[in-house]
Structure 1
Amino acid sequence: MSTNSSVDHCKTPTNATYEILSWVMVGQFTLGLPLNLSVLYIFIFRFKFWKNKSIFLFNIVVADFLLVACLPAKAYHYQNHLRRSESNLECKAMLFMLFLNRGASIAFLITLSLDRYFNVVHLGRRNFVKILKKTPQISIIIWLLLLPLTIPTMVKTFECCNSHGRKVETSYHDVTDTFREVVFFSQIIIPFIILVFCTVRIVNRLRKKTVGEKTKLRRAVCVVMSVVVVFTICFLPCAIARAVLLSVRLNDWQEAENIAVQVYDSLMVLSYMDCLLDPLVYCFCNSGFKDAYVSTFCPTFLQKKLNTDFGLGTTTNTNTNTNTTSRTITLPMIEK
């Protein structure tokens, strides 16, 4: 374990890299704040999520707000060539919120994927996820269960909010740091395995179905694939970079660690993109939310195109009146 205390690991290894990352976070905040505010407006005032069994989706929006709230402070520290706040309280509070956001986002995204899995692969059987969706208290329980997994980030003042692999005073602190790393990896790897399993089973089910039954299955595939995209872009890369960083740090390779730290911090900034990608999941999960959002915020000439792109073969009836002499004939038209 590294015992080199002469190196200030809270300073940025390369100032230019972190200045660029700070501007990336400014862009994420600039886009993420109005986007999530508009989504929140739709869920509460137009879509009425509590009546449309979309409580889990609403909880993802709340988790994204926790993330968006942290971005200005993170960008400020990077601009000042610091990987963390000089205030230990602020440092721990921000890491607590980031851990809580990540855990909540993953928990509710996986729950949505499991719901689609049971609706498609085990159709006709009792779907316990659908029962949970009708109970708002379940969301509160999920948040409460996430707290014990997030509290270790606040147990001790740790260097740069991450002391694992550094010199520690007691074995208790080493166990705390190790537990935090186990939580970090398990909350990404285990859900990703579940997600891949659900995706494979749903796709196999789609191949076996007849043409008339494929519309619902295509929607289910789009839901789980959108969650796969979020995981692939936001969560998996930073987990891999984290594993490399810990390996380098434990071997006390200081020069390699400077590079690994920059790669890890860059991929962590990339992981904040989930606050911009999650609205795509909402659109695929519930066409009612998509219709409400498009009709509220999109101009008229885009509404038809977006409805067609996300509709996946939905059928709407449009009346076309044809006058022949004194008789009116109404023809149903199918929108492709």
Structure 2
Amino acid sequence: MASNESSEGCAEPNITFKHHLYAVTYTIVFIPGLLANSTALWVLCRFISKKNKAVIFMINLAVADLAHVLSLPLRIYYYINNVWPFGHRLCLLCFYLKYLNMYASICFLTCISVQRYFFLYNPFKAKDWKRRYDAAISVAIWMFVGAACSPFPIMRYQGITNSANACFADLAVKKISSKVVPVVMTIIAELLGFVGPLIVIVYCTWKTKESLQTFQMPLQNSEKRKALRMISTCAIVFFICFTPYHINFFFYMMVKEDIITDCSIRISTLYTQPFCLSLASLDCCLDPILYFFTTSEFQDQISRHSSIVIRSRLMSKESGSSIKE
């Protein structure tokens, strides 16, 4: 393929397919993500009040997904038309929302897993737990993640070789004189944003499954199965959406900083990046599965309102047919 010269004369491929891949992925994600997260937010806020079901964290997770989903039409426009007419600031905002969604989702999935595990082992603590505690934790997460994600747009700019209408991954990455800084930033991001949450979620899943096999009290086992189902769903979403991206992300940053110079690693990393980024976006569609399949109250409300809609439609059809007769 055509190429750009990088360090030590290694030819970097022009990955021409990535715009088509992003356009298709975001188009597929947009409608289901918008409908599912809007519905989830409505049901979670209006009908579900039990404090021991991690509802506050689910609401924040839905907000994070919805913020990213609402920016997708602009991304789709850009990747179809290869031009960004909406200004540089809006470009950076949409770019920022992508990573804000990703790391906020990781944090809230981790919080849901920890809380379900903690309440399972400390049921008396669950009774005394206040919803304002979850709200305070959520505010702290938004502040931390918001600040931690700020380097993503800050490190991008419309370079001399970049078109004024370029955006997102087509923006140039600012070069830092010392290679130590980006390496340290990448390692910290990987440890705090991926490795740490991964260990926590795996531990919660393992301990919950272990407790289910140890005790045989029917009532407790029922609660433990619900907890295990919720924590396992968090783990599945985490592994599918975020593990490939973060494994590749470390190598991607090392390639961009010309720290990795091996041609085969550089080419495979650059080719893999668009697929990993697209996979991470599927989290907006997979998170609502967590609410529906692991929260009985959510299922009840969806079923109740679905039956009301069906009943009203049947009644309107019957009244219409009686008028015709």
TM-score w.r.t. length of structure 2: 0.75
| TM-superposed deviation, 1:207 | 0.4
Measure, in 2, the Cα distance between the counterparts of 1:66 and 1:49.
25
* Residue 197, structure 1, aligned to residue 203, structure 2: yes
| Residues 74 and 185 of structure 1, relative CA distance in 2, 3 Å threshold | farther
| RMSD of equivalent CA atoms | 3.9
| Residues 185 and 13 of structure 1, relative CA distance in 2, 3 Å threshold | farther
Measure, in 1, the Cα distance between the counterparts of 2:248 and 2:113.
26
- What's the counterpart of residue 137 of structure 2? 138
* Residue 281, structure 1, aligned to residue 290, structure 2: yes
Do the aligned residues in 1 keep the contact of 2:156 with 2:174 (CA within 8 Å)? no
Measure, in 2, the Cα distance between the counterparts of 1:87 and 1:7.
34
* Residue 235, structure 1, aligned to residue 234, structure 2: no
Measure, in 2, the Cα distance between the counterparts of 1:33 and 1:8.
40
The answer to which of 271-280 and 47-56 deviates more is 47-56
Do the aligned residues in 2 keep the contact of 1:56 with 1:133 (CA within 8 Å)? no
* Residue 215, structure 1, aligned to residue 222, structure 2: yes
| TM-superposed deviation, 1:155 | 3.2
| Residues 240 and 60 of structure 1, relative CA distance in 2, 3 Å threshold | same
| TM-superposed deviation, 1:7 | 11
| Residues 248 and 210 of structure 1, relative CA distance in 2, 3 Å threshold | same
- What's the counterpart of residue 150 of structure 1? 149
Measure, in 2, the Cα distance between the counterparts of 1:85 and 1:8.
31
Task: Write the deviation string for residues 69-117 of structure 1: whole angstroms up to 9, x where unpaired.
Answer: 23223333333458x9996534432232122111211111111111111
Task: Write the deviation string for residues 267-305 of structure 1: whole angstroms up to 9, x where unpaired.
Answer: 11111111111112113443112211232246899xxxx
Q: How many residues align?
A: 294
- What's the counterpart of residue 54 of structure 1? 55
Higher percent of residues as helix: 2
The structure with higher relative contact order (CA 8 Å, sep 6+) is 2
| Residues 8 and 291 of structure 1, relative CA distance in 2, 3 Å threshold | farther
| TM-superposed deviation, 1:166 | 7.1
- What's the counterpart of residue 333 of structure 1? none
Measure, in 2, the Cα distance between the counterparts of 1:133 and 1:295.
29
Task: Among all aligned residue pairs of Structure 1 and Structure 2, give the percentage whose two residues are the same amino acid.
Answer: 22
Do the aligned residues in 2 keep the contact of 1:15 with 1:81 (CA within 8 Å)? no
- What's the counterpart of residue 118 of structure 2? 118
* Runs of 5+ unmatched residues, structure 1: 302-336
Measure, in 1, the Cα distance between the counterparts of 2:146 and 2:305.
36
TM-score w.r.t. length of structure 1: 0.73
| Residues 51 and 231 of structure 1, relative CA distance in 2, 3 Å threshold | closer
